[in-house]
Amino acid sequence: MLHKYINQYEGAHTFLSVERREYGTKGRKAYFIEVKCAECKSVSFMRSDVALKSRTQCNNCSRKLKNVSHGLRGKRIYHVWSEMLARTKTSTHRKYARYGGRGIKIEFKDIVEFYEWSKLNGYLETQKGAYKDYQAIDRIDNDGNYSKDNCQWITVSENSSKKTGAYNV
C-alpha cells in the first residue's frame, strides 16, 4: 500500500523507499519511509504515519529554523512586542477586552519588521530619565490596528493623557 508513494513528492519530501523496522524499546514494528528533503536534499527515514502527515521540512531544516534568532530577547522592544501580542491574542490577558476583544490586530509581520519600523520612527534604544519620559507605542486611531500607518512612539506621560477617561486638573 505504501509503495505507491515511492518517487512521489509529498509536502516537503520525496519518498524514496519503504521498509518495515523495529523501533522503540519494546520492539514494536512500523513502516518507515526513506525521504529526501526538498530544501536541503538530505536523506533520512521517517515513520510512515509521520511522513504522510508531514508538510514541513526534515529534522535538519526544522532545527535550523528553530535556532534562528532575532537577537532582541531581553531588550525593551521585545517586551513591548510581547505585550502587544498578549493584549491582542491572549484571551486571558487582563487587557484583552480592550484590544483583541475589540478586534485590534497586529499588522507587522514579525518582531524584526516592528523593530526596523520603530528605529525609523523615533524609537530610542536606550531610555534615560524618569519613567514618564520613556517611550510607549501608541495607536493614533484608538479603534485601528497596530500598523505602520497607525502607530507612533510617544512618551509614557503623553500616552497616559490620551487614555479613555483621563483628564487634566
Give the end of a domain, one of 32, 67, 102. 67
Domain shared by 112 and 91, yes or no: yes
Q: What total number of domains does the chain contain?
A: 2
Task: Please enumerate in sequence order all residues whose Cβ is within 8 A of that of 31, keeping only pairs 6 or more positions apart, or say none.
Answer: 2, 18, 19, 20, 21, 47, 48
Domain shared by 11 and 56, yes or no: yes
Give the end of a domain, one of 33, 67, 101. 67
In a domain, 167, yes or no: no
Domain shared by 102 and 58, yes or no: no
Give the end of a domain, one of 13, 46, 67. 67
In a domain, 144, yes or no: yes
Domain shared by 84 and 155, yes or no: yes
The one-digit pLDDT tens for each residue of the chain (169 residues) are 566 656 555 556 677 778 888 777 787 888 787 877 776 777 877 777 776 665 555 666 655 544 456 788 888 898 899 999 999 998 888 999 999 999 999 999 999 999 999 999 988 876 666 655 688 999 999 999 999 999 999 988 888 887 665 455 4
Domain shared by 25 and 99, yes or no: no
The pTM (predicted TM-score) of the whole model is 0.56
d(CA 45, CA 48): 9
Residue 101: give the domain boundaries.
76-162
- Residue with cell string 502527515: 53
Total number of residues shown for the chain: 169
In a domain, 168, yes or no: no
- Residue with cell string 513528492: 9
pLDDT digits (tens, 9 = 90+) for 63-100: 554 445 678 888 889 889 999 999 999 888 899 999 99
Domain shared by 6 and 42, yes or no: yes
**Which secondary structure element, helix H or strand E, spans residue 35, and what is its range?**
strand 28-37
Task: Give me the percent of the chain exceeding a pLDDT of 70.
Answer: 71
In a domain, 169, yes or no: no
Q: Per DSSP, what are the bridge partners of residue 9?
A: 14
Domain shared by 62 and 107, yes or no: no
In a domain, 38, yes or no: yes
Domain shared by 19 and 51, yes or no: yes
